[in-house]
Amino acid sequence: MSGLAVAAKLGLRYAAAVRGGGYGSFLSLSAIIAMALGVASLVIVLSVMNGFERELQGRLLRLLPELTLHHHDGIDSASAGRTAAQLSGLDGVRAAYPQLVAPVMVAAADRQRGALLRSYDSRHESLLDERQRALLSRPYSVLVGSQLARQLGLRYGDSLTVTLPRVATTPFGVFPRSRRLIVVGSFALGAQLDSSALLVSLQSADKLFGGTAPERLVAVDLEPTVKLEQFIASHPAAAQSELHGASWQPWYASFASFFAAVALEKRVVAVLLSMIVVVAGFNIVATLSMTVTAKRKEIAVLRTAGLRRGQVVAALMVQGGALGGLGLLLGLLVGVPVAATLPEIAAFIERLGDGALLDPTVYMINALPSQLEWQDVAATASGALLLISLATLLPAWRAGTILPAEALRYDR
The verdict on 49 and 90 lying in the same domain is: no
Report if residue 66 sits inside a domain. Answer: no
pLDDT of the residue at 176: 67
The verdict on 219 and 291 lying in the same domain is: no
pLDDT of the residue at 317: 78
Q: Give the up-direction half-sphere exposure of residue 278: CA atoms within 13 A in the CB hemisphere.
A: 6
The verdict on 89 and 201 lying in the same domain is: yes
* Alpha helical stretches, state H, 238-308: 256-294, 296-304
The verdict on 174 and 307 lying in the same domain is: no
Tell me the residue ranges of DSSP E strands in 47-172.
Answer: 67-70, 93-108, 111-120, 141-145, 159-170
Of 245, 276, 303, the residue that ends a domain is 245
Beta-carbon contacts of 203 under 8 Å, excluding residues fewer than 6 positions away, are: 137, 139
Report if residue 29 sits inside a domain. Answer: yes
Note the maximum CA span of the chain: 116
pLDDT of the residue at 228: 84
Query: 354 in the Ramachandran plot: left (φ > 0), alpha (ψ -120 to 50) or beta?
Result: left
Report if residue 63 sits inside a domain. Answer: no
Report if residue 65 sits inside a domain. Answer: no
Of 200, 220, 245, the residue that ends a domain is 245
The verdict on 81 and 44 lying in the same domain is: no
* Alpha helical stretches, state H, 187-255: 202-209, 228-234
Of 245, 273, 298, the residue that ends a domain is 245
**Given CA atoms 256, 262, 266, 267 in this order, what sign does their dihedral have?**
positive
Report if residue 384 sits inside a domain. Answer: yes
Q: How many domains does the chain have?
A: 2
pLDDT of the residue at 337: 92
CB neighbour class for 294 (10 Å; exposed up to 12, middle 13-18, buried from 19): middle
Q: Within its chain, how far is the Cα of 15 from the centroid?
A: 39
pTM: predicted TM-score of the whole model, two decimal places:
0.75
Dist. CA 49–CA 38, nearest whole Å:
16
Residue 109: name the closest of 151, 60, 168 by CA: 151
By the 8 A CB rule, do 62 and 189 touch?
yes
The verdict on 115 and 159 lying in the same domain is: yes
pLDDT of the residue at 329: 92
C-beta neighbour count of 174 within 10 angstroms: 9
Dist. CA 362–CA 66, nearest whole Å:
28
DSSP H/E element including 25: helix 23-61
The verdict on 112 and 240 lying in the same domain is: yes
Q: What is the mean pLDDT of each run of 10 residues along the chain (412 residues)?
A: 60 60 67 87 89 83 85 78 84 86 84 86 76 84 87 86 71 67 84 83 81 76 86 74 76 81 85 84 79 68 65 74 86 90 80 64 66 89 88 76 59 52
The verdict on 153 and 195 lying in the same domain is: yes
Dist. CA 79–CA 97, nearest whole Å:
11
Report if residue 254 sits inside a domain. Answer: no
Dist. CA 118–CA 189, nearest whole Å:
15
Report if residue 64 sits inside a domain. Answer: no
The verdict on 15 and 92 lying in the same domain is: no
The verdict on 213 and 333 lying in the same domain is: no
Report if residue 250 sits inside a domain. Answer: no
The verdict on 108 and 171 lying in the same domain is: yes
Structural domain of 205: 72-245
The verdict on 173 and 115 lying in the same domain is: yes
